Amino acid sequence: DAGITQSPRYKITETGRQVTLMCHQTWSHSYMFWYRQDLGHGLRLIYYSAAADITDKGEVPDGYVVSRSKTENFPLTLESATRSQTSVYFCASSLGGSQPQHFGDGTRLSIL
Amino acid sequence: QKEVEQNSGPLSVPEGAIASLNCTYSDRGSQSFFWYRQYSGKSPELIMFIYSNGDKEDGRFTAQLNKASQYVSLLIRDSQPSDSATYLCAVRDNQGGKLIFGQGTELSVKP
């Protein structure tokens, strides 16, 4: 049971580059979420999706793009990376909107 | 702005003691509450969830919810050094299934 997997686990890139973080879940959960976690700010929601082809903004969506063409995948793209986007990114999923969310192992992203 | 507040700690307790972690929230309409444990460098791991007023017990963990006072707490009985972690309180936003997280309380259990 793979659960929810994120890739890559670590990524170093340069400012201005496009980078995509992948998230895949095998539970057939309807909801998927992207968070970033920074010291002093805790977990902040970037985008979420209630179902395939349905996405919505969270607290900090600027500079990020998401898509959800298939229920199991929810990639997060930084179109033109900036140093302020250096962070740890977590993907999560839940069966329904009121159900607990389960997190992937995270991607540590550094932008130089 | 809907908020979830936690004491950042660190909260230090001796091994075998009861650790009490508290959380308050601003949205009176919130219905679902979650506690996550996060070890350093790891992802958040669900420990408990509670939807109704009162207590919910699972092994050494007890979640307590008081909607009238807008607080939720987590008690850890017989605390172990392996319980040392940051504990995140999360409250479901009634709009769209989003969770609002507190900043977390760092717990240190001393042998």
Residues B8-31 have pLDDT tens digits of 889 999 999 999 999 999 988 888
Which band of pLDDT confidence, cut at 50, 70 and 90, is reported for residue B54? very high
Residue A51 Cα, gap to closest chain B Cα (Å)? 11
- Flag whether residue A49 sits within 8 Å of chain B, measured between CB atoms: no
Mark yes or no for CB contact A104/B43 under 8 Å. Answer: yes
Q: Which positions in chain A touch B49 (Cβ < 8 Å)?
A: 100
CB A4 within 8 A of CB A23: yes
Find the CB nearest A105 among B34, B43, B88. Answer: B43
Q: Nearest CB to B104: which of A31, A42, A90?
A: A42
Structural tokens at position B74: 């987590």
Does B99 contact chain A (CB < 8 Å)?
yes
Distance of alpha carbon B80 from alpha carbon B16, whole angstroms: 6
Backbone angles phi, psi at B32, to 5 degrees: -130, 135
Contact B46 A101 (CB under 8 A): yes
> Cβ distance A81 to A19 under 8 Å?
yes
Work out the pLDDT band at B63, boundaries 50, 70, 90.
Answer: very high
Q: Tell if the CB–CB gap between A98 and B97 is shorter than 8 Å.
A: yes
- Mean pLDDT value across chain A: 95
Query: In chain A, which residues have their Cβ closer than 8 Å to the Cβ of B90?
Result: 101
Whether residue B45 and residue A103 make contact (CB cut-off 8 A), yes or no, is: yes
* pLDDT at residue B96 is higher than 90: no
CA atoms within 13 A on the CB side of B91: 25
Q: Which H/E stretch holds residue A105? A: none
**How confident is the model over A71-104, as pLDDT tens digits?**
999 999 999 999 999 999 999 999 988 889 999 9
CB–CB of A90 and B43 under 8 A? yes
Of A67, A57, A28, A42, which Cα lies nearest the Cα of B98?
A57
The pLDDT value given to residue A2: 64
What tokens were used for B19? 């650790």
pLDDT in the model for residue B98: 86
